[in-house]
Amino acid sequence: MFKRSFSLARAIFSLEDTPDGSTIVKVKAKGEAGVSELSSPSVRQERLFLKRLECLTDVVFAILIWQIFMLIPTPDSIGKTWPSLFEYAAENGVLVLVVLVGVGWVIVYWIQSNILFSALKATDKFHSAVSITQLFLLFVFLYSMKLGVDIGGSAGTWAFESISSTAIGLCAYLAFEHARRSRLLLHEDVSDEAAAKMSAWANAAPISTGVTIPFAFIPGPVLLGFSVTWESSFFIYPIVVAIIKRFSRTTAI
């Protein structure tokens, strides 16, 4: 009995001497692609990288929300005053609504990021690279919004904003889908079914923003340089989420 247990332990763990004379324990983990070996220092490093990535992500999202709110005109920013709040709303109400829609989508991606990160115990090169790419695309999204405000809305600026927001969602989906398929990055208490549902839910955002791309080129009423048809198409997100949830209940992913 003891000999069999020792053989099993040796099949799972192995000792390896390092050049400095210390010994590390290597864990053999079986994944989809076969058997790979992860040393305990490597595991600790990947978990530390995940914490740093989470902190960086929160900082970027917070900065982005603040910068988008700064797009709302104020007397100090444009050197103009309004006799009443009603006149301010009449002149800038559409822009305020556009900013709120942009902030709403950033908050959706922030909540999504926190939920997906909560299922992870570590990160790797691919997951980190895609996640950092998502952070870069967040600033591209901010630039697309500023471009529409500064030079005026057009089919090009609207499509640019839709494409950048879709790319943000795709990065979140691809990063988590990679973690789901490898299983090595997920917490042990996250089941395959739960991970599949989370991945499907993460796909709802890029699907919704992807749908808005053709609406940028559809003729419709334009108020203060912003397409009513295009802006309204962003509100399709709850419908897409409901469809995906209903689909995931009836279909094995």
Q: What is the pLDDT of residue 182?
A: 82
Q: Could you tell me if residue 157 is inside a domain?
A: yes
Give, in degrees to the nearest 5, the angle at Cα 200 between 196 and 201: 115
Structure tokens at 32: 């989809």
Helix-strand-coil percent breakdown of the chain, rounded to 5?
70, 10, 20
Q: Could you tell me if residue 14 is inside a domain?
A: no
Q: What is the pLDDT of residue 24?
A: 43
Domain count, the chain: 1
Q: Could you tell me if residue 12 is inside a domain?
A: no
**DSSP characters over 70-98:** TTS--HHHHT---SSHHHHHHHHHHHHHH
Q: Could you tell me if residue 7 is inside a domain?
A: no
**Dihedrals φ, ψ of 185, to 5°?**
-95, -10
**Dihedrals φ, ψ of 216, to 5°?**
-65, -25
Give the residue carrying structure tokens 């895609």.
Answer: 130
Q: Could you tell me if residue 122 is inside a domain?
A: yes
pLDDT tens, position by position, for the chain (253 residues)?
444 443 434 444 444 444 544 444 444 444 444 434 444 556 667 778 888 999 999 999 999 999 988 888 776 666 667 776 777 777 766 777 888 888 988 999 999 999 999 999 888 889 999 999 999 999 999 998 888 877 777 888 889 999 999 999 999 999 999 998 888 888 888 888 888 888 888 889 999 999 999 988 887 766 656 778 888 888 889 999 888 888 766 554 4
Q: What is the pLDDT of residue 225?
A: 61
Measured CA to CA, the distance from residue 43 to residue 185 in angstroms comes to 10
Q: Which residues contact 152 (CB under 8 A, 6 or more apart)?
A: 225
Q: Which residues contact 155 (CB under 8 A, 6 or more apart)?
A: 216, 217
Stated pTM of the model: 0.74
Structure tokens at 3: 């000999």
Q: Which amino acid is at 136?
A: F
Where in the sequence is the domain holding 245, given as residue range(s)? 43-250
Q: Could you tell me if residue 194 is inside a domain?
A: yes
Structure tokens at 12: 């799972």
Q: Could you tell me if residue 245 is inside a domain?
A: yes
Start-to-end CA span in the chain (Å): 41
Measured CA to CA, the distance from residue 240 to residue 74 in angstroms comes to 35
Q: Which amino acid is at 191?
A: S
Q: Could you tell me if residue 134 is inside a domain?
A: yes
Torsion, Cα 74 76 77 82, to 10 degrees, reads 40
Measured CA to CA, the distance from residue 243 to residue 114 in angstroms comes to 22
Measured CA to CA, the distance from residue 49 to residue 45 in angstroms comes to 6
Measured CA to CA, the distance from residue 183 to residue 190 in angstroms comes to 9
